[in-house]
Structure 1
């Protein structure tokens, strides 16, 4: 699902579970964001390499494929440092010292208000 509006930031939702991806996508779209979906890290990288105007990557940690969500976060920080990253997981919060990344974390299941707060914090950090 992709919506287009030049005035709203674009968020790339990366989640391998279709229903969880749909819930996140609808939540963000209803909040007025442009949303692009990807089912894994490899697809997300293709979207980013295509030059989409993504401002935030919202990714699950555990996904099938050669690259998980933390690997995707590292890649985004290295290749596109202006793009914010928010990581989500239904398990414990990944230890930051192991990641070495400044991204924000949202535990699943997340409340819409919690996700919106993290999105606002991520956009504010990018603007600073």
Structure 2
């Protein structure tokens, strides 16, 4: 895993964007941010250095976190995607599927929890980079 890997965080809540950005930057990661799915998609298409997408599920606009994750899976299947949600995970039945289990991060979360799941996903994807 590259400790300076570039991570794209997406959330419409500015406080959470800043919180996650600070935690990740202090751990040595480069961070890009977007406040909606459309901004994030443009960054993903234009920026090849992104190594992980961390996105909220519920966002305004036509491109929420679930649809953004689906697009990423089609466009760049090797890019790990982590989904954040403040809702109960059983609100999203697909999260029971094993392929989605490692992708979910329940809000609120502790910085150590965030860093662990980011590190695990980057390590798992490192064989592609």
Same fold (TM over 0.5): yes
Runs of 4+ in 1 over 6 A off after TM superposition: none
Is 1:46 matched with 2:45?
A: no
Structure with a larger share of its residues in helix: 2
* 8 Å Cα contact 1:70-1:99 kept in structure 2: no
Is the contact made by 1:74 and 1:101 (CA closer than 8 Å) also made in structure 2?
A: no
Residues 79/17 of structure 1: CA separation in 2 closer, same or farther (3 Å cut) = same
Q: Which of 73, 76, 80 is the matching residue for 2:72?
A: 76
Q: Distance in 2 between matches of 1:53 and 1:99?
A: 29
Is the CA contact (8 Å cut-off) linking 1:84 and 1:126 kept in structure 2? yes
Contact 1:29 1:35 in 2 (8 A): yes
Name 1:111's counterpart in structure 2: 110
Structure 1 spans left out of the alignment, 5+ residues: 1-5
Instruction: Structure 2: state its 5+ residue gaps.
Output: none
TM-score normalised by the chain length of structure 1? 0.87
Contact 1:28–1:35, Cα closer than 8 Å, also in 2:
yes
Shift of the 112–96 alpha-carbon distance from structure 1 to 2, 3 Å rule, reads same
RMSD: 2.0
Higher relative contact order (CA 8 A, sep 6+): 2
Q: Give the alignment's TM-score, normalised by structure 2.
A: 0.87
Q: How many residues align?
A: 123
Structure 2 match to 1:124? 123
